Amino acid sequence: MLIERDISLQQFNTFGVEVKAKWFAAITTEEELQALAQTDVFQSGVPLVLGSGSNILFTQDVERLVILNSIKGIRVVETSLDVVRVAFGAGENWHDCVMHCIKHNWGGIENLALIPGTIGAAPVQNIGAYGVEKKDVFHSLKAWDRMTHAFVTLFSDDCTFGYRSSIFKTTAKDRYIITEVVLNLSASSHALHLDYGAIREVLKKKEIQEPTIRDVAQAVMDIRSSKLPDPKVLGNAGSFFKNPTVDQATFERLKSAHPDIPSYPSAGGVKLAAGWLIEQCGWKGFREGPCGCYDKQALVLVNYGGATGAKLLELAQRIQQSVQHRFGLQLEAEVNLL
C-alpha cells in the first residue's frame, strides 16, 4: 500500500482549488482499504475520504490522510420480474452508472443524470435532483466502520436520509468509509417522474409523448447543461447553499413583503429557493478577481482560475450576510467546508 506525501489536491476537487494533502492513498479494493486501516497513518488521525471532490471546498492544506476511493465494479445481486437489485463499487462514477442502468433498462435514477461525483458519496448528502433523491432507490451500503474496525452493512433506516443530509454528514461524520452501494431499480413498468422543473416542456418540444427512461435522462441532461457550469471548464461545486425551509408564519411574513417569492411545499414547512434569494440581493453574475457567482444560476459559486478556498469562502459568507440582512434567513452551506 503506497502512502504518498504532500500531494496536490487541485485535480481532485471540482473547484480546482490548490491545496496539499499531508498523506494520500488511493484504494481500488476493500482489501487495500483493510490493509490501509492497519497503518499508523490511518490510525493516528481521522482520514478524509475523497470521491471526485465535487461537493467540497478546501480552504486550507489537509493535515490528514486523504483516501481516494477508486473501488470499481457493478454486479446484479438479485432480480425479479419488476425489480433488479444492483451493487455498485463506491468509486464508480455516478453519471456513468446512470447511463449503465439506462442501457440495461433499469429505472429509478434517470432524473439524477449528470450529477458529478462517485457512487460512494451519493448517500452522504442523499443526492437529489428533478424530484428524485437517492434514498428513493437505496437498498443498503457496505462500509468500513472506523469505530469497530470491521465492514458493516447499513440499511435505509440506519442512514437517516433527509434533504441533502444523512448520518454520514451529521451524527456519524467521518466514521464510515463507504465501499459499495446497493440500489433497488425497476426492471419493468418504470415509474417516471416528469413533473419537476422543465422535464415535460423539454419532452413536449421534442414531440415525445411516451417517454422512456433514456428520454427522461436526456431531458434532464439538456436542462442541466443549459443552466449549470461544467466543472471541467469553470471550477464549481454545484449548489453552494441548501434551499432553506421555513415555517408557515415566516413564509407568510416573507410573502407579504415579497409577493413573487418562489416556494414549494415541504415536509418540514415551506421550501424557498436559495438561488432566488441570492439573486434578489444582487449577487448573480458578481465577480471579484477569480471568485464569482455564476451568471445563469446565483446558487453556484465559481472559480475563474486561481481562486483560493479561503477567498471563495469569504464570498460565500458575504452572500450569507446579505441574505440574512434582507430576508432574515440564514443560508446553510450544502458544500462540505474543509
Ligand X SMILES: Cc1cc2nc3c(=O)[nH]c(=O)nc-3n(C[C@H](O)[C@H](O)[C@H](O)COP(=O)(O)OP(=O)(O)OC[C@H]3O[C@@H](n4cnc5c(N)ncnc54)[C@H](O)[C@@H]3O)c2cc1C
CB of 29 to ligand X, least distance (A): 13
Question: Residue 130 is placed in which grid cell?
Answer: 428533478
> Which one, 72 or 326, has the nearer CB to ligand X?
72
CB of 308 to ligand X, least distance (A): 18
Compute, in degrees rounded to 10, the torsion defined by CA atoms 31, 33, 35, 36. 160
CA nearest to 60, candidates 324, 308, 274, 300: 308
Adjacent-strand bridge partners of 23: 5, 65
> Which one, 237 or 254, has the nearer CB to ligand X?
237
CB of 88 to ligand X, least distance (A): 11
CB of 252 to ligand X, least distance (A): 29
CB of 151 to ligand X, least distance (A): 12
> Which one, 107 or 120, has the nearer CB to ligand X?
120
Rg, C-alpha atoms of the chain? 20
Helix (H) / strand (E) containing 100: helix 94-103
- What SS3 class is residue 21? strand
Binding interface with ligand X (CB under 6 A): 14, 48-56, 69, 90, 115-118, 120-122, 124-125, 127-129, 168, 176-178, 228, 231, 236-238, 336
Region label for 285, one of left (φ > 0), alpha (ψ between -120 and 50) or beta (otherwise)? left
Using an 8 Å Cβ cutoff, are 284 and 298 in contact? Answer: yes
CB of 103 to ligand X, least distance (A): 21
Give the catalytic positions in this structure. 164, 239, 334
Contacts of 119 (CB under 8 A, 6+ apart): 88, 89, 90, 91, 92, 93, 94, 97, 181
CA separation, residue 26 to residues 1, 2, 31, 71, 324 (Å): 9, 8, 12, 9, 41
> Which one, 107 or 231, has the nearer CB to ligand X?
231
d(CA 129, CA 206): 21
DSSP 166-201: -TTTTTTTTTEEEEEEEEEEESSS------STTHHH
Type of residue found at 171: T
